Structure 1
Amino acid sequence: MRLYHHPVSSNARRVLLTIAQLGIKVDRVELNLMDAEDRRRLGEVNPNCKVPVLEDEGFLLWESCAIMQYLADQTPGQPLYPQELKARADINRWLFWAAQHFSPAIGVLTWERVWKPLVTGGTADPAELKRGGEDLEQFATVLDQHLAGREWISGSGLTLADFAVAAPLMYRERAQLPIDNYPNLLAWLARVQQLAAWKQTEHVW
């Protein structure tokens, strides 16, 4: 299998965390999204021109959470994505929540404070920072309340849900994510950051 990725993509980080935790061997192809030729190569494997993309014997799969599920299903006996129907449905709920709500809120702040100055040379838009901050506050509150008395997001152990939700928090310092007032969230994030998989996929910016 081959994974097209970029080390500062939080979507790719989700997949890399899954690969590391499962101990799967995957050939990694790092693409420079600022390079026209690499963007052309990416467009050949994903019409959305986004990473990550998994290639498995001619089968091309994009969307990070779909890739995570696919990799887990190829690993018999793994606990990250159990077969039991309700356990899997609960994990799926958090995968979709991460993709639809939590990550987009973080993405607004990441774009304005990290990528916008690099890509366009522009400065952060106060209105967008306000919007992103309010959205993140809403969803961080949901997560913080859910994590009260829990070590992990779904069930009693580490699952794909934890990787999907934690990955965009890799931007915490650079994007100045306002999450300091959520003690349950922070305690959970600290547990994730102690995992070997998290440490193995860290990137020095």
Structure 2
Amino acid sequence: MRLYYHPASTCSRRVMLAAIHMGTPLELTEVNLMSEEDRRRLVALNPNSKVPVLQDGDFTLWESCAIMQYLADRTHGQTLYPDNIRVRADINRWMLWSAQHFAPALGVFAYEHIWKGLIGNGGPDPVELDRAGRLVAQFAAVLEQHLAGRDWIVGEQVSLADYAIAAPLTYIEQARLPVTQYPKLMAWLARVSQLEAWKQTVPVW
């Protein structure tokens, strides 16, 4: 299986976290997102022009959470995505919650404080940061409440849900993500950061 990815992409990191944790072998192809030629090739794989993209023979799959689930189903003996239908439903719920609510709000901070300047689009927009800040506060409070009395998002061990939610927090310092005031969230993130998969996928600046 081949993964088209970029090491700075938090969505790519989601997939890498799961693959490394499960020991799932992947052939990696880095996509230069600043290259027009690489972008053209990427659109041929994913019409949304985004990474990551997985190719497994003649099957092409995009959307990071879908790729994570597919890799788990392809990996014998993995524990990140148990067979129990209710446990899977719970994991799916949190992965979708991250993709739909939490990650997009965090992504505004990453764009405004990191990527926007790198691509020459000026400085941070305070209106956008204020809007996103209200959303982060809303959803971080949900996560903080959920983590009361829990070490992991679902069940008694790390799952795909933890990696799906943690990856968008990668740039917590550089993007000035407004989450440090949530002690349970921060304690959970500290646990994730001690996992070998997390250590092996830290972006190099």
What is the TM-score normalised by the length of structure 1? 0.98
Offset of residue 41 of structure 1: 1.2
Q: Does 1:57 align with 2:52?
A: no
Whole-Å separation in 2 of the counterparts to 1:47 and 1:67: 16
Whole-Å separation in 1 of the counterparts to 2:155 and 2:86: 10
Q: What residue number does 1:166 align with?
A: 166
What is the root-mean-square deviation of aligned Cα atoms in Å?
Answer: 0.7
Task: Name segments (4+ residues, structure 1) moved above 4 Å.
Answer: none
Q: What residue number does 2:110 align with?
A: 110
Q: What residue number does 1:47 align with?
A: 47
Q: Name the count of aligned residue pairs.
A: 205
Secondary structure of the residue aligned to 1:164 is helix
Q: Which amino acid aligns with 1:178?
A: P
1:145-174 C-alpha deviation (Å, 9 max, x unpaired)? 100110000111110000000001001011
Whole-Å separation in 1 of the counterparts to 2:155 and 2:197: 20
Whole-Å separation in 2 of the counterparts to 1:121 and 1:131: 19
Q: What residue number does 1:32 align with?
A: 32
Whole-Å separation in 1 of the counterparts to 2:37 and 2:170: 27
Whole-Å separation in 1 of the counterparts to 2:170 and 2:9: 9
Whole-Å separation in 1 of the counterparts to 2:169 and 2:86: 27
Offset of residue 76 of structure 1: 2.0
Secondary structure of the residue aligned to 1:54 is strand
Q: Which amino acid aligns with 1:112?
A: E
Offset of residue 18 of structure 1: 0.5
Q: Which amino acid aligns with 2:115?
A: W
Q: What residue number does 1:19 align with?
A: 19
Q: What residue number does 2:188 align with?
A: 188
Q: Which amino acid aligns with 1:132?
A: A
Larger deviation, residues 92-101 vs 113-122: 113-122
Matches of residues 96-107 of structure 1 in structure 2 within 5 Å?
96-107=96-107
Q: Which runs of 5+ in 2 are unaligned?
A: none
Secondary structure of the residue aligned to 2:3 is strand
Q: What residue number does 1:91 align with?
A: 91
Q: What residue number does 1:125 align with?
A: 125
Offset of residue 120 of structure 1: 3.0
1:169-192 C-alpha deviation (Å, 9 max, x unpaired)? 001011000111100000000000
Whole-Å separation in 1 of the counterparts to 2:120 and 2:43: 22
* Identity among equivalent pairs (%): 60
Q: Which runs of 5+ in 1 are unaligned?
A: none
Offset of residue 121 of structure 1: 3.3
Secondary structure of the residue aligned to 1:171 is coil
Offset of residue 202 of structure 1: 1.0
Secondary structure of the residue aligned to 2:170 is helix
Whole-Å separation in 2 of the counterparts to 1:200 and 1:103: 21
1:53-92 C-alpha deviation (Å, 9 max, x unpaired)? 0000021000000000000001122110011111000000
Offset of residue 127 of structure 1: 0.5
Q: What residue number does 1:69 align with?
A: 69
